[in-house]
Amino acid sequence: MKKLVLSSIVIVAALVLQSFQSESLTLKEGNNEITKSKVVWKAYKVTGSHSGTVGLKSGVLTFDENKLSGGSFLMDMTTLACTDLEGDYKNNLEGHLKSDDFFGVAKHGTSALNITNVKSTGKNSYQVKGDLTIKGISKSIVFQVSIYGNKATASLKVDRTDFGIKYGSGSYFEDLQDKMIYDEFDLNVDLEF
């Protein structure tokens, strides 16, 4: 009888320990965390910049022994919005960004990030490698993530031409002058879970 009780205690302890060692935090449509989380973009051109947001459709961060170990996110490209313009200027830019010149949202309604490798770089800081998929094209990207309590932040520089987005690129077209749009854009991610 003592062996049976001891075995049961060991099994329960192992299950409890396992649940603390490997944990997934999930963000999904409809839950409060997904609406508190945000992805902000900023793109640059010769004459200035534009900024806006794109919504998250779902996401998972995985932790082992309270350290980030993986994750994946799905961005809803249909929510792509410009926040620094109003009226017709805003509508025109959003429509152009959703067109085939840029993100081709009618064919590619989502973009994805799948974390493939995580390396701790200090307390609450990680160097993350992942596969970013935009317009059906996947490229490897490296960026930094900081996690404090129930919040995670990351800043990514993305070269749009890696994903076939060449409109207004000085790398592909000559004589654009003040119409040139720089190839790299920023993504600043704030997650709450």
- Domain 22-192 falls under CATH 2.40.128.110: yes
Determine the Cα–Cα distance for residues 152 and 61; give it in Å rounded to an integer: 10
Q: Residues 102-155: pLDDT tens digits?
A: 999 999 999 999 999 999 999 999 999 999 999 999 999 999 999 998 899 999
Determine the Cα–Cα distance for residues 173 and 190; give it in Å rounded to an integer: 35
Strand 48-64 to 22-28 pairing = antiparallel
Share above pLDDT 70 across residues of the chain, in percent, rounded to a whole number: 82
By C-alpha distance, which of 46, 109, 100, 113 is closest to 80? 109
Q: Residues 21-61: pLDDT tens digits?
A: 346 556 554 454 566 889 999 999 999 999 999 999 998 89
Q: What confidence category does residue 5 fall into, taking pLDDT thresholds of 50, 70 and 90?
A: very low
Rg, Å, the chain Cα set: 21
Domain ranges for the chain: 22-192
Determine the Cα–Cα distance for residues 42 and 158; give it in Å rounded to an integer: 10
Element (H, E) at 71: strand 67-82
pTM of this prediction exceeds 0.85? no
Q: Residues 148-159: pLDDT tens digits?
A: 988 999 999 999
The pair of structure tokens assigned to 11 is 């099994």
- List, in order, residues 6 or more apart from 166 with CB less than 8 Å away: 160, 172, 173
Count of positions (residues) in the chain: 193
Number of other CB atoms surrounding residue 107 within 10 Å: 9
Q: Is the dihedral of CA 128, 75, 156, 169 positive or negative?
A: positive
